Amino acid sequence: MHVVERRAVDKIFAFATSAIRSATNGPDLVRQIHEKFGVEVVVISGEREAELIYHGVAQVVDLSTKKHLIMDIGGGSNELIIANKNQIFFKHSFPLGMSRLLEQFKLSNPITTQEVNQIESYLDKELRPLFEATAIHKPQVLVGSSGSFDTYRAILTNGNDRCIPPSQPIDMRAYLKLHQTLLTSTADERKVMLGMEPMRVEMIVVASIFTHFVIKKTGISRIIQSCYALKEGAMWDMINSNGNKSL
């Protein structure tokens, strides 16, 4: 709050996503924040989170009139959106975040083929609404927003690419090679990879399994990485609503 006071901020927008949505004490935490800091936290739905991610991505990725599959991999949930520059055709928030998957599947170091198959079998069932939608809309481009996709890009550029520019294609063959490297790596080996963020050492393998499985199931042939995602979409929404609409 010291920064807010120094900057003489007129209005504060605060929002919470998957962790607070699903936590049994989420309402208590929101109440305590309001009591202690005077900040009203809006707990947004998964559908609203998906919309904001779309608006964030659309600022830096030319979605054109072709249908793209936008994927945001989080710790608690994953948002999947099928859209072009004009409209959203499908949006869904799946409670399949990487922290949840790591809790559910106790993985070896490195992960085994059997464990990969178990995760994929689980995703095949849980992502059925997505695959039904992709069968109808047939997106050919995957747009990965923020998080794990930033890490893929950073590793593939040996740590030299830090979201400048904020959107960039990822070569599919390079990603597939990276995926295999991650599957056979230990945590210690991942820690020293150039471009690897410490917080993603444990999660990146499961994130890549998720990414690879969706690519395999949908037949997508291109990947675009976007550094813009939820935060930028929320700012877009605030600006375009003149601060009059809550998240």
Same domain (yes/no): 154, 95: yes
* Residue 73, number of CB atoms within 10 A of its CB: 26
For range 54-68, the mean pLDDT: 97
Task: Give pLDDT, residue 178.
Answer: 98
- 77 and 146 co-located in one domain: yes
Quick: pLDDT tens for 198-218: 999 999 999 999 999 999 999
Q: Are residues 86 and 176 in the same domain?
A: yes
Residues 27 and 114 reside in one and the same domain: no
Q: Looking at the structure, tell me whether residues 89 and 26 fall in a common domain.
A: no
| In a domain? residue 243 | no
Question: Is residue 84 domain-resident?
Answer: yes
Residues 6 or more apart in contact with residue 115 via CB below 8 angstroms: 105, 107, 108
pLDDT of residue 216: 98
Span 217-236, average pLDDT = 96
The reported pLDDT for the residue numbered 160 is 83
Strand boundaries in 146-205, DSSP class E: 167-170
Distance, in Å, from the CA atom of 85 to the CA atom of 70, rounded to the nearest integer, reads 12
Rounded CA-CA distance 32/9 in Å is 21
What pLDDT, on the 0 to 100 scale, is given for residue 181? 98
The whole-number pLDDT of residue 1 equals 60
Tally the domains of the chain: 2
- Provide mean pLDDT across the span 168-186: 98
Does residue 27 have a cis peptide bond before it, meaning omega lies within 30 degrees of 0? Answer: no
59 and 10 share one domain: no
Is position 247 within any domain? no
Q: How far apart are the C-alpha atoms of 41 and 27, rounded to whole Å?
A: 10
Question: Are residue 194 and residue 82 in the same domain, yes or no?
Answer: yes
CATH of the domain at 207: 3.30.420.150
Maximum C-alpha span of the chain: 56
Same domain, 29 and 143: no
| Res 214: pLDDT | 98
Q: Which contiguous run of DSSP H or E holds residue 189?
A: helix 187-191
Residue 22's domain comprises 2-43
Statement to judge: residues 7 and 108 lie in one domain:
no
Is residue 236 in some structural domain? no
Instruction: Please give the single-letter amino acid code of residue 159.
Output: G
Closest CA to 198 of 231, 161, 154: 154
Banded pLDDT at 153 (limits 50, 70, 90): very high
Whole-angstrom distance, CA of residue 70 vs CA of residue 53:
8
Task: Considering only residues 8 and 56, tell me which one the structure prediction assigns the higher pLDDT.
Answer: 56
Q: Which residue type, as a one-letter code, is found at position 88?
A: I
Same domain? For 203 and 99 the reply is yes
Same domain, 79 and 179: yes
- Which of 26, 43, 60 represents a domain boundary (last residue)? 43
**Which residue intervals of 38-127 are DSSP H helices?**
46-57, 98-104, 113-126
CB 161 within 8 A of CB 202: no
Contacts of 183 (CB under 8 A, 6+ apart): 110, 111, 116, 205, 208, 209
pLDDT at residue 245 tops 80: no
- Using the predicted structure, report yes or no on whether residue 73 has a pLDDT greater than 60: yes
Please give the C-alpha separations between residue 133 and each of 62, 67, 242, in angstroms, as whole numbers. Answer: 22, 12, 34
